[in-house]
Structure 1
Amino acid sequence: MHILIVSHSCATAINQEIYARVQRETGWKITLVVPDQWHDEFGNALRQEPCKGMEDSVIRCAVWKNGSIIFHVYRMRWQKFLRELRPDVIYMNHEPYALATAQVCHANNSSIRVPFGFYSCQNINKKYPVPFSWLESMVYRSSTFALPITDRVADVLRAKGFRGRQTICALPLDPERYHPRLRSQPPESFPKTDLPVIGYVGRLVEPKGLRTLATALGQVRDLDWRMVLVGTGEFQPEFEKLLAAQGVRDRIFFAGYVPHHETPRWLASMDMLVLPSETQPNWEEQFGRVIPEAMACGAAVIGSDSGEIPYLIRQSEGGLVFTQRQPDELAVALRQLISGPRLRRQLAENGRHWVERDISIPAVAQKMIDTFSAAASTHNHSRAGKTSSLASTHAFAQP
């Protein structure tokens, strides 16, 4: 079987590993179309060599509106490309309302008409303006399957009218790359301390709940701890003022920007990770990828009840949940983990087990294999039925 996958996120080699696993497990041929280079949110132009196993599978393509997940499109004559490639299944690792998804979906409808599917992490039932709403509806009508990352995302797809097969596929990670053993190899700049370390990894922007975090840290200043923040953002100067007002600025280390492939060692060096995100009118946490990454590295997690955060924490039993914008509740959770090494260890063990069982690359790859197989099988059965019916009609018409 031949699978065509289109993915802007696979401009980063680490994100190709799930497809290398599918190819290795099945012997299928996979063609992976990625942007020739991709401008990420930090302004970096990503252009990496394919991961091991995908060296002969990757096709690079220039894009318009580079860096815009929703608005970018591929500079390719897709109908011609599809007729020449003749894949058995097409999977768009893009949202159903993205222009690139509509671009490839329309080309498939106009040429080879093979099973088509998409990815989604949108957990809010948003109404998009024309023409995006039209394109989104076209993708729903034309798609055989979808791979939403959570149950809540699947609910949104159903509410919007998608009637195809849905398979929950969390954002996968490699539990060998994210592993507690990395704690013995902390980054050179990581603060040297025997005290419990609270960690934060993400953008330093106000919707991430940093005001609430600063107040909560002030409420546990009677305990001994240190904090490490990985990331950058425009809210950092204000956040530092808030920390100083709480009397805890000298306990905080700002690591700044850290490349994604280096974050496992930072996470493994933290005793607990805090994710205090706060839902906005048009945004809430969709997955919180740093949660399973931290759990895989052996850290307990404290998260707010924004978006998918509480569902991930409760599924995994790997952390504590507090009500967003409630610093008193966050302070209680911090106090529990700072003062409770046994609780930290138990939560970390729970989280690590969940990652290996449910969202590791092998686990998610098997879900993808089952979905692609079912899509191709149903299509082939339907096509065979039509051929048989047509043959019977012709036989009946003979004089």
Structure 2
Amino acid sequence: MAAVAEGAGGPSALPAGAPPKVLVVGHTYMVRMNQRKLEAVWRGGLAEPALLAPARFGPNEWGRVFEFEPPAFPMPAFAAPVFFGRRVGGYFYSWHRLRRAIRAVRPDLLHVEAEPYSLVALQCALAARLCGLPLSFFTWENVDRRLSPARRLSRRFVLRSARLAVAGNEAAAGLLAGYGYRGASVVLPQLGIEAADFPPRAAEPDGEALRVGFVGRLIPEKGVDLLLRAAARLARDAATARSLRLVICGGGSDEARLRALAAELGIAGRVEWLPAVPHEGVAEVLAGLHLLVLPSRSSPTWQEQFGHVLIEAMAVGVPVVGARSGAIPEVIGRDDCLFAEEDDAALAALLARARDEPAWREELARRGAERVKKLYTHDRVAEALARAWRACLHQGRPVALEPAAARMAGERGSGG
């Protein structure tokens, strides 16, 4: 449990029961698809969000440039040019643009969705202090990476300025405490899903073969080679080989190596390679699977921070299994469909169980769909976020926040 404490922004004058005005600063909400979470906040009367986002943004690591998309609902939105927009953590707005948005909205809270060591988070922390506003921020970072002295100073200033931290996973919340953050915190994903985009499928796909899939970027960290090796283990039995098909959907720097590995392992004919699909096509790909696998592996600078495709599959009614990498265990919420990183034998055993026990697959699908409805829709995430915002603005005695992680842990079980 974390209690709301007074922060550097000064006491809030928010009347009891009034929905707070929150200026959200974040490049994530440049596109309408992601703005749906803010729409859920607005639609539920939980808060009155406004948005400041880059007019145009394309960091080098993204490989493409995004243009700002005006919201499809009546939310005040400001699209502004940014300086140094080729790096996710290195951009910021002109002071004029940021101050104009603050003056137009007159927010009760300034909320920035950027890592606390980023320049835009530092800029928002400075603005919050100058304008006498409470500050909250969102962070995904779940690895204690080495930062330059300037970045560490920036993080320290943001953490000392903030009244509320929203961490995307349990490890991120733990790191904040280790960095000396003493404000309120809550564990929530940055985005949920729109239920209408991932409707429950009517039934599993037809056919004798178990269709096991991966959907995502084909890069070494995602561990698709481990899935190929696990499939090859099962394929050594001729009967098993006929009952297993892999569906690999995505693109990336590792694709050529993975195709070569599939041929080397003798399973190239059992792998279907699909190109990356747009958001609106993901549900159709997932609905054609009996099982989704997320075999991510950790590195010194990265761990799986959430694994959004997991909740997309769970919503559709597809069972999921995953590596014990980063946040995957807390997202899945049960132990009997997890395997140790790099353990292709353990993954092969889970694939065999999924093939041989349709009742287990059915239970995983049912429990997964229930979990998404309870924790991971945009409506649920918006409700929890707005509750945290209101708690950090509450006058008088501290208000206890129940982190989503605590609820997740309470629901986690070993399964059957």
Q: Tell me, what secondary structure is at the counterpart of 1:220?
A: helix
Q: Distance in 2 between matches of 1:248 and 1:198?
A: 13
Task: Tell me whether 1:32 sits opposite 2:51 in the alignment.
Answer: yes
After superposition, where does 1:156-235 map in structure 2 within 5 Å? 156-170=175-189, 171-181=191-201, 195-221=209-235, 222=237, 223=240, 224-235=243-254
Partner of 1:393: none
Q: Tell me, what secondary structure is at the counterpart of 1:167?
A: strand
Partner of 2:124: 104
Moved more, 330-339 or 57-66: 57-66
> In the alignment, residue 200 of structure 1 is paired with which amino acid?
F
Identity among equivalent positions (%) equals 27
The one-character-per-residue Cα deviations of 1:307-355 (angstroms, maximum 9, x if unpaired) are: 1112322x2x396111111111111111111222221111011111011
Identify which of 370, 375, 386 aligns with 1:353. Answer: 370
Larger Rg: 1
Q: Distance in 2 between matches of 1:124 and 1:86?
A: 35
- Contact 2:24–2:111 at 8 Å: present in 1 too? yes
What displacement does 1:49 show?
A: 3.3
Q: Distance in 2 between matches of 1:51 and 1:177?
A: 18
List runs of 5+ in structure 2 lacking aligned partners: 1-19, 399-416
With normalisation by structure 1, the TM-score equals: 0.86
Moved more, 300-309 or 204-213: 204-213
What displacement does 1:242 show?
A: 1.1
Q: Distance in 2 between matches of 1:309 and 1:202?
A: 14
Against the structure 1 CA distance between its residues 69 and 379, is the aligned structure 2 distance closer, same or farther, given a 3 Å change threshold? farther
- Contact 2:214–2:224 at 8 Å: present in 1 too? no
Q: Distance in 2 between matches of 1:259 and 1:37?
A: 20
With normalisation by structure 2, the TM-score equals: 0.83
The one-character-per-residue Cα deviations of 1:179-217 (angstroms, maximum 9, x if unpaired) are: 223879x9xxxxx95532111011112222233222111
Q: Tell me, what secondary structure is at the counterpart of 1:31?
A: strand
Q: Distance in 2 between matches of 1:97 and 1:379?
A: 31
Against the structure 1 CA distance between its residues 372 and 215, is the aligned structure 2 distance closer, same or farther, given a 3 Å change threshold? same
- Contact 2:170–2:327 at 8 Å: present in 1 too? no
Task: Tell me whether 1:237 sits opposite 2:237 in the alignment.
Answer: no
Q: Distance in 2 between matches of 1:252 and 1:137?
A: 48
Q: Distance in 1 between matches of 2:381 and 2:46?
A: 17
Q: Distance in 2 between matches of 1:261 and 1:182?
A: 18
Partner of 1:66: 85
Task: Tell me whether 1:287 sits opposite 2:273 in the alignment.
Answer: no
Number of corresponding residues: 371
> In the alignment, residue 318 of structure 2 is paired with which amino acid?
A
Task: Compare relative contact order (CA 8 Å, sep 6+) and give the higher one, 1 or 2.
Answer: 2
What displacement does 1:71 show?
A: 1.2
Q: Distance in 2 between matches of 1:125 and 1:215?
A: 30
List runs of 5+ in structure 1 lacking aligned partners: 187-191, 382-399
Give the superposed CA RMSD.
Answer: 2.4
Against the structure 1 CA distance between its residues 268 and 142, is the aligned structure 2 distance closer, same or farther, given a 3 Å change threshold? same
What displacement does 1:379 show?
A: 9.0
